[in-house]
Amino acid sequence: MELDFERCYRAVDSRDQRFDGWFFTAVKSTGIYCRPSCPAMTPKRENVTFFPSGAAAQRAGFRACKRCRPDAVPGSPEWDVRADLVGRAMRLIGDGVVDRDGVPGLASRLGYTERHLNRLLTAELGAGPLALARAQRAQTARILIETTDLGLAEIAFAAGFGSVRQFNDTIQEVYAQSPSGLRERRPSVRAEAGVINLRLAYRSPLHIPALLDFLEMRALPGVEERDGEAYGRGLLLPHGSATVVLKPTARWVSATLRLEDVRDLAPAVARCRRLMDLDADPDAVDATLGEDPALAAMVAAEPGVRVPRAVDGFEMAVRAIVGQQVSVAGARTTLGRLVRAAGSSGLQSSSGVAASGSAASSSASETAGLVPFPSAAVVADLPDKAFGMPAARRETIRALASLVADGKIDLEPGADREETVARLREVPGIGAWTAGYVAMRAIGDPDVFLPTDLAVRRGAAAVGLPSTPAALETHAERWRPWRSYALIRLWRAS
C-alpha cells in the first residue's frame, strides 16, 4: 500500500481524525506508534515513518501509544469496502477466523494458498495474517484485562494466545507493560459479573437517528429492540450466544456485551461494527452524493447516514426473502413466528457449541431476555408449520438454509460478492432485488442499487429524481461507488 509521506505528515500535523485507521505514525526517537489524530506534539519529519497497519508497526518494533490508543481506532474504510482478496481477508481476520482455524483455515475460506495470501497481505499491509491476528489478540486481551475480573491465564487463552508465555511477551512488546501492570491501570468502576463494557470508535459524522430508526422499524421481537437511544439484540457467535446493547454517542458507540464464552469477544465486536457500519468513511460518501443537486440538501441536513448491515448473513437473507412482497410490519410478524418456532422446537439452544471459559454464570440470552436468530442448520430442520408463509417462499428459505449449512453459499463479510450474488440467483425464488439486498446488508457491498424498489422510487420522486426504474438507474451511475448509501437516503426520503 503506497503511503504519500507529505500527505500523511500534513494529516498528522493537523491531527485530522478522518485519517485514523488509514495509516499509523511511528516515531523513531520514542519507539512508539500513534494514530494520525494523536494529541501529542507533532514529531520531527526525520523521526517519522508511516505504516499501513498497526501490525506492521508492531512488527517493526514500535509500541502502541498509551495516550491515543492506536490499537482501538476504527478499521480502515478501504478494507471495509474493498471486494478483493485483501479486503476479504481483513474482514475475516477481524472476525477471528485465524484464531479459530489458523492461517490454513483463512486461506481455505479465500480459495488461495497460504504462501500467496501471506505475500499479498505483506505487500499491502506490511504484515502477514499471523501478525495481523496477533495485533488483534493483543487488543482483545487488553479489553478483557481492563473490563473483566477473569484471571490472566484465562484471558490469555480467551484472547486466542497459544500459551501464557506468548501472551505475556506480546502484551509487554505491544504496550510496554506486563498484563498485571495493565490491570493495575484499569478504571476503578467495574461492571457486573459477566458483562464487558467497551467503546467502539467511528469516524464522524454519524447520523444516529437515521441508524436507530432503520433498525427499530425492522426489529424482530425477542431478537432485537430499541429502548430510547439504545439498541439491543441477541447474537449467534462461534462458541455460543451473546447479547449486546449498543448506544451511539457523539464520539463512540458504547457497547455492553454479555458473552457465554469470552473467546467470542473479537467476533462480537467485529459484528457490532458491521451492524452499525462504523468503519465507513462518511466524508467520502457524502462528498460524492452531495455533488448531485437532488441529494445535496438531504446530505447537508443529515450528514453521516450509514448503511445498517448485519450480524448474521443468513439472518439477513431470510429477512430479504420474507420481505419480498409484504410490508415491513408483515415481515416482522412472520419472522417473529419463525424465531419462536425455532425456540420451542428444542433445536435452538444457542450455537450448539458447549461454552468454555465463560464469563457469565448463566446464558447470555437469558440474562438480557433476547435470543439470537436461529442458524441455517436449525431453520433447515424446522417443520412446515413453523414458517407460516406460502409454500414457495418456505421452500426458498429451506433450500437456502441447506446450502448455507452445507457451506455451499457463503453469506459472511469475507465472501466473494459476485460469486455469492450469482449463487443466490440460482436458488429458486431469489431474484435480483433479494440478491442485491443481501449483498448490501450481509456482505457489505457499498455500491448496490435497487431501482425497482417501490420505496426507492417514492423517495426519488420526493427529491425530484426520475422514478421509472430505467431512468433512475441511469441517474444513479453518478453516485458510484456509494449507491448503497444513496439507497438508504432515498428510503429515508420516502
Our answer to whether residue 13 is catalytic in this structure is no
Yes or no: say if 246 and 254 are a contact pair by the CB < 8 Å rule: yes
> What is the per-residue burial (b if ≥16 Cβ within 10 Å, else e) of 468-481?
eeeebeebbeebee
Yes or no: say if 243 and 230 are a contact pair by the CB < 8 Å rule: no
Angle (CA) 143-305-16 rounded to 5° is: 60
Distance CA 444, CA 378 (A): 25
Residue type, 273: R
**Residue of 8, 20, 34, 312 marked active site:** 34
Task: Give the chain's end-to-end CA distance (angstroms, integer).
Answer: 41
Our answer to whether residue 8 is catalytic in this structure is no
Distance CA 240, CA 353 (A): 6
Strand partners, 251: none
**Residue of 281, 286, 447, 453 marked active site:** 453
Catalytic residues: 34, 453
